[in-house]
Amino acid sequence: MANTKIRQPLIKVRELKKYFPLKKNTLLDRKQIYVRAVEDINMTIFEGETFGLVGESGCGKSTLGRVILQLYEPTSGSAVYFGPIFKTMSLDYIVKEIKMLPQYQEKARNTHQKALFIDTKITACEKALGELQTVCTGIDKGCKEAETAQKKYDSLSKRLLRLQEAALNKRKQASRYLRHGSRMIGSLILSANLDEIVDLLLEASTLVKHNREIPLALGEKYPEGFSPELIKLFEKIKSYRGKNYLPLTEQIGRAHV
The per-residue pLDDT for 176 is: 83
With a cut of 80, say whether residue 246 has pLDDT above it.
yes
- Among residues 82, 84, 256, the alpha carbon closest in space to that of 184 is found at 84
Residues 106-124 have pLDDT tens digits of: 999 999 999 999 999 999 9
CATH 3.40.50.300 range(s) for the chain read 1-82
Beta-carbon count within 10 A of 214 CB = 19
- Closest C-alpha among 246, 249, 242 to residue 73: 249
Contacts made by residues 232-235, CB under 8 angstroms, sequence distance 24+: 233/200, 233/201, 233/203, 233/204, 233/207, 234/85, 234/204
DSSP classification of residue 220: B
Predicted pLDDT of residue 21 = 81
Tell me which of 208 and 102 has the higher pLDDT: 102
Instruction: Round to whole Å and give the CA distance between 236 and 197.
Output: 9
Rounded to an integer, what distance in angstroms lies between the CA atom of residue 6 and that of residue 121?
Answer: 49
pLDDT for 150-195, tens place per residue? 788 888 989 999 999 999 889 888 888 888 888 778 778 889 999 9
Q: How confident is the model at residue 103 (pLDDT cuts 50, 70, 90)?
A: very high
Q: Is 21 helix (H, G, I), strand (E, B) or coil?
A: strand
Q: What is the pLDDT of residue 121?
A: 95
pLDDT-based confidence at residue 255 (cuts at 50, 70, 90): very low
The full DSSP string for 24-76 is: PSSTT--S--EEEEEEEEEEEEETT--------TTSSHHHHHHHHTTSS--SE
Q: What residues does CATH 1.20.1050 cover in the chain?
A: 83-257
Split at pLDDT 50, 70, 90, the class of 72 is: confident
For the segment 210-231, the average pLDDT, to the nearest whole number, is: 58
Q: Round the average pLDDT of the chain to a whole number and report it.
A: 78
State the architecture of 83-257 in CATH terms: Up-down Bundle (1.20)
Highest CATH level, class, for 1-82: alpha beta
Q: Is the pLDDT of residue 99 over 60?
A: yes
When pLDDT is averaged across residues 80-106 and rounded to a whole number, the result is 74
Q: How many CB atoms lie within 10 A of CB 3?
A: 9
- What is the layout of strands, in order, in the sheet containing 34-46? 34-46, 9-21, 76-81
Nearest C-alpha neighbor of 214 from the set 93, 91, 99, 82: 91
pLDDT digits (tens, 9 = 90+) for 131-159: 887 766 666 665 677 778 778 888 898 99
pTM, full prediction: 0.58
CA distances from 142 to 130, 138, 139, 148, 226 (A): 21, 12, 9, 11, 80
The pairs formed by 136-141 with CB atoms below 8 angstroms and a separation of 24 or more are 136/27, 136/28, 141/26, 141/28
